[in-house]
């Protein structure tokens, strides 16, 4: 998948992952993966929360059906509009995968991964990267870098698509839904 395929804007259908959080009369999807004491607001949600619009019926039905899953990571499908998601569907999804541990010792070192890791480290704040690792390994034992973030900007997508195939993988919490 090209990184450009992850970029979305107003009117695009998206799929988002996060925890369901109620703040006053509003429901939010909190996509923050790395939690610190300073990352939550008074309402219990982080700055990486997305307001859910029109999803009250979906949320109530889902919480009634599976109360335990409603406290875990959810998937929300809807339309992105001005920083909020108009909810079409909500359901339990797999939990957040952890960044893979260091590769086994027999995996060859790839200096290109170091270059990618350096760029991710240098641009992490600007690109909104929450966590990244340069020691992930695919199913064939090939090392690559992975970045976890809220959403992919056009600038980040352009940079990622210029890297050699398979060298960098982006894992956004909110992405455009493939039609």
Q: Hey, how many other C-beta atoms are within 10 angstroms of the C-beta on 161?
A: 13
User: Positive or negative, the Cα torsion across 80, 84, 89, 92?
Assistant: positive
| Tens digits of pLDDT across the chain (179 residues) | 799 999 999 999 999 998 888 888 888 898 876 655 444 455 577 888 899 999 788 777 777 766 565 566 788 999 999 999 999 988 876 655 544 445 555 666 778 888 998 999 999 999 999 888 887 888 887 888 999 999 999 999 999 999 998 899 999 999 999 87
Query: Spelled out in words, what is the top-level CATH class assigned to the domain 3-92?
Result: mainly beta
Block residue for tokens 């998937």: 75
What is the widest separation between alpha-carbon atoms in the chain?
54
pLDDT at 39: 46
Tokens of 90: 């909500």
CA dist., res. 59 & res. 63, Å (int) = 6
CA dist., res. 145 & res. 115, Å (int) = 10
For the chain, report the end-to-end CA distance as a whole number of angstroms: 14
pLDDT at 81: 96
Backbone φ and ψ of 155, nearest 5°: -60, -45
Decide: 10 and 81 in contact? Cβ < 8 Å: yes
């Amino acid at each position: 998948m090209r990184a450009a395929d992850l970029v979305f804007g107003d009117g695009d259908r998206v799929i988002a992952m996060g925890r369901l959080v109620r703040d006053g009369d509003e429901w939010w999807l909190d996509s923050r993966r790395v939690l610190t004491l300073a990352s939550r607001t008074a309402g219990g949600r982080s700055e990486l929360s997305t307001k859910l619009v029109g999803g009250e019926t979906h949320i109530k039905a889902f919480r009634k059906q599976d109360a335990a899953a409603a406290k875990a990571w959810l998937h929300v499908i809807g339309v992105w509009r001005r920083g909020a998601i108009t909810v079409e569907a909500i359901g339990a999804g797999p939990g957040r995968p952890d960044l893979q541990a260091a590769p086994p010792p027999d995996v060859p070192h790839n200096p290109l991964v170091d270059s990618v890791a350096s760029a991710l480290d240098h641009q992490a704040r600007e690109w909104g990267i929450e966590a990244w690792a340069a020691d992930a390994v695919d199913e064939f034992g090939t090392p690559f870098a992975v970045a976890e973030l809220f959403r992919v900007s056009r600038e980040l997508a352009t940079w990622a698509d210029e890297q050699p195939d398979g060298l960098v993988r982006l894992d956004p919490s909110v992405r455009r839904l493939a039609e």
